[in-house]
A and B are shown apart, each in its own frame.
Chain A
Amino acid sequence: MRPDDRHYLPSHEWVKTDGDTVVFGITDFAVEELSHGNEDDLVYCDLPEPGRKLTQGETFGEIESVKAVADLNSPVAGEVVEINKTIEDHLQVLAKDPWDKGWLIRVKPDDASMSHLLDAEGYEASVGEADE
């Protein structure tokens, strides 16, 4: 079971509340799809500058593995306040720990509601369908 302290998009991004901000990341499923167990296969990640306003569902960045570029989609609307500079140069951190040290960006959300997102159980079901 994936962590139940956060919410998810079917496109494999997660969002977790942390005080009056939220943190975005991608799931282990996304990492596995892109890298298939080879942590060095993640090669580039473009993240937005702090201050950028994001709308819900907007593409806020891209990640490249050796063989594919994938969009990163914003689970909620808000303003980017911090990016995880560590992973821009060390994507192995994201590959090893997508739930914690591999977070992507911190956002001040426009709205605290996450009712439009999947909970852990819903995400598990979504991933199960993708695996079938």
Chain B
Amino acid sequence: MTRPSLRSDSGTVETWRLIESWDAAPEFNMGLDEALLDDPEAPPTLRLYTWSPDTLSLGYFQKWADVPGTGSVGAVVRRITGGGAIHHTQELTFSIVLPQSHALFRGPVPLSYGRIHEALITALAGFGVEASLAGQAGLLSDREQTGMCFHESTPLDVAWGARKGVGSAQRRRRGRVLHHGSIKLGSTPLEGDIATLEGYLPGDNPIGALAPALLREIETSFAVHLERSEATASERSAAQRLGGRYASRSFLRRR
């Protein structure tokens, strides 16, 4: 398969900032993503993160009453991206924040999913995972009325073993895009029989194996150079200011 090139016409390699946040608070994770989305001056940024405590995130438009699992998790937030609920534990979460005019996000939303998911599929293949786009047939992991992202599939989702293994969602605001992705390292009682990387990665440090491979593939697929960095003081301040809303009763129960 010929992979679409995102390299600029001049052939130059773009630099993206890489921010890693391990075992971060759910309010911080969501607040920093929104701070990056809202700042038109923020450089292209890829984040890798995990959550502490384990967190159930609802999709922006989901009704609280439609997600049965809210009482059985460490924390609950509502995302600003759409889709279904995700139980963030045994998972590598990533976010990409770029201008909407960037080649990665240009054109209809499904095309950008295709670009990102092809890169994920290639990265996973390095561990022997035979992942592919789900296609039209539906998946064995599809379930009715659980409210969970991994129980609803679209043809563009990444799947292996006929089960969904990556959750994805976007927010588009004022010419910028936030793309969320969740790669499952293991399953949880709320998500059940879904595709995970259990058995494909070293059990004692799965993220230590997956993250570098994912970063290498992103650099290759998107023709970018990732530069490890930290959120700036003003971004951390904005994340703190914005983050409180995500777990607030009024926002959680807005629908």
Contacts and interface: CB of A to CB of B under 8 A. Distances in A.
B175 A67 contact: no
B173 A71 contact: yes
Main secondary structure of the interface of B (DSSP, over half): loop
Contacts, number: 67
A69 B174 contact: no
A108 B127 CA distance: 59
Interface in B101-126: 101, 106-111, 113
Contacts of A65: 82, 109
A68 B173 contact: no
A120 B9 CA distance: 30
A87 interface: no
Contact of B172 (A36, A44, A46, A70): A70
B45 interface: no
Given A32-B108, A36-B110, A67 B173 contact: no
B171 A69 contact: yes
Given A67-B154, A67-B169, A68-B172, A33 B60 contact: no
Interface of B: 60-61, 80-83, 100-101, 106-111, 113, 154, 156, 168-175
Given A11-B174, A71-B174, A130-B100, 12 more contacts: A36-B108, A64-B61, A65-B109, A67-B82, A67-B169, A68-B171, A69-B169, A69-B171, A70-B171, A70-B172, A130-B101, A131-B106
27 contacts: A10-B175, A11-B175, A43-B61, A43-B82, A44-B82, A62-B60, A62-B61, A67-B82, A67-B83, A67-B110, A67-B113, A67-B156, A67-B168, A68-B81, A68-B82, A69-B60, A69-B61, A69-B81, A69-B170, A69-B171, A70-B172, A70-B173, A71-B172, A129-B101, A130-B100, A130-B101, A131-B107
